[in-house]
A and B are shown apart, each in its own frame.
Chain A
């Protein structure tokens, strides 16, 4: 496929995916996996990575036929106009909810970790102003910006893991026996709920080049994802044990607070938080782009530019209405969000591919 400067490469899309799942991976995955898989939680990413790779084959299957289409165009063409529109409306509602929820999570994390008792609006308003300004430039500058953010994020993350290593106790990560297999897969369901965001990339699928390399790119990023998720969970349960990790908010951040190098380098969480904010920034920007793309397709709009400012205002209000505290977010993630994510991210594309095969459209 010929490349286009107004599009991003599949490699850039893969980097975007890794960056925007970082927030959920850090905040919610360690708690969920430690509840379900206990001391074997650190093996959960290995248990489900095969399903993620399978998803890439599904999307590769779509793009053999629909070389330059978005998720919306593919779904509408395969299922018909009415069902397609219904699916897009459902996606649209879900994206509105997810975007406001992640904005809320970001602000909660700031207030809970460093700026206790500070009005949340102080963070939300400037953050949204920067996002709204950035969105005017579209997806390509965001993907290029992410090419700078992603290596920084990875560097800081692995530096932290290296510094925490002395605090990890093997006794908290063992024993893992054949009895742990089912709990590990149960813990993996939460990770699948995050991997399901891979499908969101194809909402802007018409703006991605080299889609014939989806499987190859996914195989490459899946190695990084398995290593990083294993590290995140190992740190969370290896420092405190799964019993503590499942009861605290932000276990990874609390583990980072334990870092002490020769009793001189301490409290480095305030220095690393800005890097995590960059990940949140990429996530919210990308989710807003996806929402606006869905809106554009649904109403057949010529441009989404006029809607950026008003969506920013709506997002601010929704982020205040979506949840009252972190407990609600955690319960919502465990009992509902994971399964809806899996539905939109894994089950729906699989069903559509099967329907497409039956109707001989794929």
Chain B
């Protein structure tokens, strides 16, 4: 999980610094949102890698039990 945090932080610092130079405020907000989603999904995966899959949840919610 730590490598994921380092990777996301590294990529974020790199990309945001470029966007700051170009004054792309909207892009920075969307990027931070994207990075947070990545971290949340990363946490879900690394805390319990053998948990139920996205497909399982979709099929379960729709009542398409297999």
**Does A associate with B in a complex?**
yes
**Which residues of chain A have a CB within 8 Å of any CB of chain B?**
97, 100-101, 295, 299-303, 306-307, 309-311, 313-314, 317-318, 320-324, 327-329, 331-332, 335-336
Closest B residue to A97 using CB positions: B54
Residues of chain A contacted by B19 (CB below 8 angstroms): 306
Let me know if B56 and A310 touch, CB within 8 A: no
- Whether A313 touches B11, Cβ cut-off 8 Å, given contacts A323-B53, A335-B64, is yes
Q: Which of B37-66 contact A (CB under 8 A)?
A: 37-38, 41-42, 44-45, 49-50, 52-56, 58-59, 62, 64, 66
Within the complex, what minimum Cβ distance (angstroms) separates B32 from chain A?
10
- Whether A307 touches B62, Cβ cut-off 8 Å, given contacts A300-B26, A321-B54, A324-B56, is no
Closest A residue to B58 using CB positions: A336
* Docked pose: A314 CA to B54 CA in angstroms: 14
* Docked pose: A311 CA to B31 CA in angstroms: 10
* Docked pose: A307 CA to B34 CA in angstroms: 8
* Docked pose: A118 CA to B31 CA in angstroms: 34
Let me know if A306 and B27 touch, CB within 8 A: yes
**Which residues of chain B have a CB within 8 Å of any CB of chain A?**
4, 7-8, 11-12, 14-16, 18-19, 24, 26-27, 30-31, 34-35, 37-38, 41-42, 44-45, 49-50, 52-56, 58-59, 62, 64, 66
Closest A residue to B14 using CB positions: A309
Closest A residue to B35 using CB positions: A310
- Chain B interface SS verdict (over half): helix
Within the complex, what minimum Cβ distance (angstroms) separates B43 from chain A?
9
- Whether A314 touches B55, Cβ cut-off 8 Å, given contacts A301-B30, A302-B24, A320-B49, is no
Let me know if A310 and B11 touch, CB within 8 A: yes
Residues of chain B contacted by A318 (CB below 8 angstroms): 41, 54
Residues of chain B contacted by A314 (CB below 8 angstroms): 34, 37-38, 41
Let me know if A328 and B44 touch, CB within 8 A: no
Within the complex, what minimum Cβ distance (angstroms) separates B27 from chain A?
6
Let me know if A295 and B41 touch, CB within 8 A: no
Residues of chain B contacted by A313 (CB below 8 angstroms): 4, 7-8, 11, 38, 42
Let me know if B55 and A310 touch, CB within 8 A: no
Write 20 A-B pairs (CB below 8 A) sorted by A numbering. A97-B54, A101-B55, A300-B26, A301-B27, A306-B16, A306-B18, A306-B24, A307-B30, A310-B15, A310-B38, A313-B4, A313-B8, A317-B38, A321-B44, A323-B53, A324-B53, A328-B53, A328-B55, A329-B55, A331-B66
